[in-house]
Amino acid sequence: MAKKNHFLQVPHTCNDPVWNDIIFKIPAPEQVDGMRFVERKVLTTSTPNKKNKRGETQNLARQAGTGKRDDTLLGSFEKGIDIREMPPKLINEDGHLSLYGGYGRADIFDELGYTVWVYDIYEYDEATRNYLQTNDLEVLEDAAISDNGSAKNKPAEKADYMGILIRRIKAHGWNRDQMVAWFNSIEHCLTKRQVTTYITDAISKEMAMGRIESLKEHEVNQIVANFDPSLIILNTTDAEKGNNQRFIRTARSMMRSYVNSGGKTQGYCLWNSKAYSHEHIDDAHSAAENLMNEFVDECLEFAAAVNFFKTKACEPQKVIFQKIGSDNLVGEVVDYSAL
């Protein structure tokens, strides 16, 4: 059976009649809350503006840019126009056609020398806004984040969703239920757990604004390295919830340093990446200190038990067999000694 070709050659001019066949075959325009579809039109690729009529960057769904380009996308466009995919989207603001869906494609068009393409043109329509949208900017944010929300596109990142959530919290005092409703109103491919995490983190970050200075890990590393590189850095986030994993990852280095230094106390420098108040950061740091003390007590108890029982505390006894072409079945649990 012959493989079906979904790619058609891109015409070189806007008025080439081949466009009629292409437009007929590609999917119907999408319905967008707060917008009305105007027309599907072939334009020169230099026509769409990446800034709106106020000179502001229109790519509202990307907090930190589009990131590294996916070269498989470039390879797709080298084959021509994929009739299974939606065209880039433009918003018509009093004749000013601004790009809001398809930023990654715009750069690819330049690289591949495509001078014309088909676009879907929309305009704002207050009558079709959903109940969470109060102005055109919010309509545009929702449309842009939805355009990056399907699995076939380069997905929006956590920072992109949180940026919008924080703006809505500030503007309208959104609560958790409203944020859940917002996620239900847009296109995305997030799990329920991710949605819950994003909402919780957005609430915490908004609460921290003006109360706690937010620092990135690389900034903390540089600060401590300049001050005293012998200090071990410990992020105390969630320590108050009993999360000791960040400390455990430093424990072996701490113990080795203590032994090698002849009993010199190993210093830690604490910081927190998610605290939202002065009290929260104090509680997290205090909890981290308690986790350290508990760990040392457990180590001493463990060392005493090994000395008393005179047995090996741990050893590999079983393995999942993975070697193909042997007498054992792959995936079986077998004795470690059998290897």
Q: 8 in helix, strand or coil?
A: strand
Gap between the Cα atoms of 144 and 154, Å rounded: 12
Could you report the per-residue pLDDT of 273-295, keeping only the tens digit for each?
988 889 999 999 999 999 999 99
**What is residue 70's predicted lDDT score, i.e. its pLDDT?**
62
**What is residue 60's predicted lDDT score, i.e. its pLDDT?**
60
Residue 43 placed within a domain: yes
Could you report the per-residue pLDDT of 122-135, keeping only the tens digit for each?
999 999 999 999 99
86 and 104 together in one domain: yes
Final residue before a domain boundary, out of 114, 138, 153 = 153
Residue at token pair 């505390």: 313
Answer yes or no: are the C-beta atoms of 276 and 202 closer than 8 Å: no
Tally of domains in the chain: 3
19 and 53 together in one domain: yes
Could you report the per-residue pLDDT of 133-163, keeping only the tens digit for each?
999 999 999 999 998 766 556 778 899 999 9
Query: What are the backbone angles phi and psi of residue 65, rounded to the nearest 5°?
Result: 80, 180
Residue 315 placed within a domain: no
Residue 336 placed within a domain: no
Above 60 in pLDDT, residue 63? Answer: no
Residue 329 placed within a domain: no
Answer yes or no: are the C-beta atoms of 33 and 133 closer than 8 Å: yes
Residue 334 placed within a domain: no
Final residue before a domain boundary, out of 108, 123, 153 = 153
149 and 161 together in one domain: no
Residue 338 placed within a domain: no
20 and 81 together in one domain: yes
74 and 125 together in one domain: yes
250 and 284 together in one domain: yes
Residue 119 placed within a domain: yes
15 and 123 together in one domain: yes
Number of H helices, E strands in the chain: 10, 10
Expressed as residue numbers, the domain containing 182 is 157-209
Nearest alpha carbon to residue 49 among 5, 91, 18, 4: 91
Q: What is the DSSP string of 11-70?
A: PSSTT-THHHHHHHHSPPPPP-TTEEEEEEEEEETTSSBSB-TTS-B--TT-BTBS-S--
Above pLDDT 90, what percent of the chain? 73
**What is residue 147's predicted lDDT score, i.e. its pLDDT?**
86
Final residue before a domain boundary, out of 153, 178, 198 = 153
Above 70 in pLDDT, residue 62? Answer: no
23 and 53 together in one domain: yes
106 and 33 together in one domain: yes
Answer yes or no: are the C-beta atoms of 93 and 53 closer than 8 Å: yes
Residues 6+ away with beta carbon under 8 Å from 29: 37, 40, 86, 120
Mean pLDDT score of the chain: 90
**What is residue 75's predicted lDDT score, i.e. its pLDDT?**
81
Gap between the Cα atoms of 217 and 122, Å rounded: 41
229 and 113 together in one domain: no
237 and 266 together in one domain: yes
240 and 115 together in one domain: no
Residue 318 placed within a domain: no
